Chain A
């Protein structure tokens, strides 16, 4: 698979080399959680922008609000205040059905614990978001094979998650996240459950994906992963702090 072809596969329309538009834009983003009688301020007003094709690492100590921020960008949570726009669309106030459809087409998720469907094969796992998007069986099978090949698992397409190593499972999860050609790929501690060598392979894969045009945002404690990103957003106590 050539680089040029991958660009075609993974980049999105409207790309402008001269002035790349912000693919993610957060303004005064805040998120509180009730905790008994009190409220926990997980995010206290965050403003930033991420342009298309960027590779961002969000770093910071545990409980600083990294994952909360990622959830808001991924449209699986709603902000208490402020707004978050993806490709110019305010996603913070979306209703459940709208948010679900938006995630399907625009967001790719990679989780620390892989979260593959244990009863499905690697290929079926990759096909799952495409099936939901209504892509025909033949087409989605072909694309799933293509994606598995991209992450180096063409020989493992029939294997179930339990038959794969941690690194392989995470690569299947990455292929699944790319299934519907998302605008951004979000990863929450993607190397958290992997050993150093496998983690390095995943870091390499993220680099390659970004090089091929995918916007990548990772939340991580992993210094190696954070260093591989183009830009780091440091967080502490729910706010962005200088690095």
Chain B
């Protein structure tokens, strides 16, 4: 009977109920998005970092991978030192740089990575072959679109440009062997990959043994933290960054978004709560006489409260379910905007859907729906019956 009464009461003011559900749906969508954002980007970045199984990254002392143009000298020495540690199973040295590719009457400038294709963890091959040869290069779709090049083409590639003389330095002719997708590439970024030695050679005498980054895979039964400490002790010129350290840095940089998520999520929850409270309070006030009569007939205070709480929860739940769908659509839209955030891989999802996010949003809304109904209903059910009936009759 409590459900019948609650349902009937909601239907009694259909427009009002519908508007409240809509309002809660928008608030729920926002809440879901914010819950997704507060945990999603961290989780997404973590998945990305571990996607190729490299648990440690080495960068020039005091920097993060590719955060500056700084490089580490004596890459071969560092690699050799790393290989002396039995818990380290794979070392992948990477050099970053910029290349210029003249095409017709213009020059396309692109990022370039020098890697060892056998152990690389920076890209996935979409078609063609890895750039295993010293005269090979592979590129992403953005680069191919900008240059109009296709697999098999030969490109004139340079690493330096002298604007005074309008001449290129470090020129080589490289054959495009494959189409790749870079795991850590920024949105719309033109990027290429070649053998480490090739890029080092093109960089001139200064960079013949340089690397920007080392990626290290530690044995599964070994302690990553112990390996990290060993690296920092034995190679003082570098910063060894574990996944946790990288995540902490991302957390720091994206603190604004997490705080925004918390603030907007709280505001959304509060708006939803306020909406349901307003509606339930008005609804209770309108029915104060009916409630007094129910109490006079012997309906317990608990059951009156339950009936009204059911109304609040029903609005919250209906809104939350609508909000879930709406939230996923808006999350996709908002993710599209933030994927072009400078300095972050476009593969990071700011809004990563996890069932936990949906349950959290649903749980919070249900609690707010219950909270919204409890006070007004308890107050109404606690009013002195005789006085309430007399006042209602006078009104």
Contact = CB atoms under 8 A, between A and B. Distances in A.
Which of B294, B296, B300 has the most A CB atoms < 10 Å from its CB?
A: B296
A196 B95 CA distance: 101
B9 interface: yes
B166 interface: no
A117 B301 contact: no
B1 A128 contact: yes
Contacts of A132: 1, 297-300, 303
A128 B11 contact: no
B107 interface: no
A103 interface: yes
A120 B4 CA distance: 8
B385 interface: yes
A58 B70 CA distance: 100
A36 to B, nearest CB: 15
B8 A119 contact: yes
Contact of B12 (A118, A128, A180): A118
A119 B298 contact: no
B125 to A, nearest CB: 66
A213 to B, nearest CB: 21
B84 to A, nearest CB: 78
B293 interface: yes
A74 interface: yes
Q: Say whether chain B's binding surface is mostly helix, strand, loop, or mixed.
A: helix
Contacts of B390: 67
Contacts of B389: 76, 111
B249 interface: no
B8 A120 contact: yes
A112 B1 contact: no
A132 B390 CA distance: 24
A109 interface: yes
| A interface, size bucket | 20 to 34
Q: Say whether chain A's binding surface is mostly helix, strand, loop, or mixed.
A: helix
Contact of B296 (A103, A105, A112): A103
A76 B385 CA distance: 6
B386 A119 contact: no
A31 to B, nearest CB: 9
Contacts of A127: 1
B287 to A, nearest CB: 9
Contacts of A129: 297-299
A218 B364 CA distance: 50
B129 interface: no
Given A77-B385, A120-B4, A120-B5, A97 B293 contact: no
5 cross-chain pairs, A with B, having the tightest CB-CB distances, nearest first: A104-B298, A119-B8, A131-B1, A76-B385, A115-B293
Interface of B: 1, 4-5, 8-9, 11-12, 289-290, 293-301, 303, 384-386, 389-390, 393
Interface of A: 67-68, 71, 74, 76-77, 96-97, 100-105, 107, 109, 111-113, 115, 117-120, 124, 127-129, 131-133, 176-177, 180
Given A76-B296, A133-B298, 5 more contacts: A71-B386, A103-B297, A120-B5, A127-B1, A176-B297
